[in-house]
Structure 1
């Protein structure tokens, strides 16, 4: 599974005004539900919070990659939010998050989520990419940055 193959503008939210980790997760999970990626928002969010309890998903450099494996997932997806200001998020560098990639994976797709995590982390290990994402004005720009 390639990141470029599953990017969907319908689940990308640039310049979001979320003010907390919970708002980000709820907002992106609602996008998943609205677009048919998940059947049950609460069941999916429970899987995400269970994973959050295992260890930090903020990988530093204002980036967080929360994820959940749930039977509620109809099809794998990556919802993305770039935030107007950083929010408190447990992270390796204690700086919070301003770019969030929420990954939804079904329970039978465990290899797929590791592949996606790896691709996202590799792509966003570049400070220039993160800067471009934060300044992107629309969904098309975000997709272009991530696929170039």
Structure 2
């Protein structure tokens, strides 16, 4: 599984505007719902919010990987967003989250869902790569960096 199988260039948001966890989740969910007609925005925001209630998807080092399973979705899809200032996402390390990778999976995709989460985690673990993402000038550069890093694995 490659990140580029999950993420398309038009699902990269270089300048998230939300200032709270619900704002950012909604902003990313709106992008996915606009592209994928099988996704109903209220359903996706509810799934992502419910997952956050179970425990924050912010894993530290400025990274959050909100995710959930949604009826009607036929394959794993994603969106990537960057927030210049960072948002309090109840991170494990207490710091703000700046890099967000949302994953939405079909309801019956336990193993693929976990593989996608592991792939995104591995992609974002390198500090120098995260620094490059934070310094990228726009969405096109962000996508190119993600694609290039993804091809190393």
Return the TM-score normalized by structure 1: 0.92
DSSP 3-state at the match of 1:16: coil
User: 1:1-80 alignment to 2 at 5 Å?
Assistant: 1-36=1-36, 38-80=38-80
Matched with 1:115 is 115
Between the aligned partners of 1:69 and 1:77, the Cα distance in structure 2 is: 10
Which runs of 5 or more structure 1 residues have no equivalent in the other structure?
none
Query: Offset of 1:91 from its aligned partner?
Result: 1.0
User: Residue 64 and residue 38 in structure 1: after superposition, are their counterparts in 2 closer, same or farther (change >3 A)?
Assistant: farther
Between the aligned partners of 1:133 and 1:75, the Cα distance in structure 2 is: 26
Between the aligned partners of 1:4 and 1:74, the Cα distance in structure 2 is: 16
Query: Offset of 1:3 from its aligned partner?
Result: 1.2
Between the aligned partners of 1:42 and 1:71, the Cα distance in structure 2 is: 13
Contact preservation (8 Å) 2:16, 2:27 = no
Which runs of 5 or more structure 2 residues have no equivalent in the other structure?
149-153
Matched with 1:131 is 131
Query: Offset of 1:75 from its aligned partner?
Result: 3.9
Return the TM-score normalized by structure 2: 0.89
DSSP 3-state at the match of 1:15: coil
Between the aligned partners of 2:24 and 2:87, the Cα distance in structure 1 is: 9
Contact preservation (8 Å) 2:80, 2:102 = yes
Between the aligned partners of 2:76 and 2:121, the Cα distance in structure 1 is: 18
Deviates more, 1:77-86 or 1:134-143: 134-143
DSSP 3-state at the match of 2:104: strand
Query: Offset of 1:7 from its aligned partner?
Result: 1.7
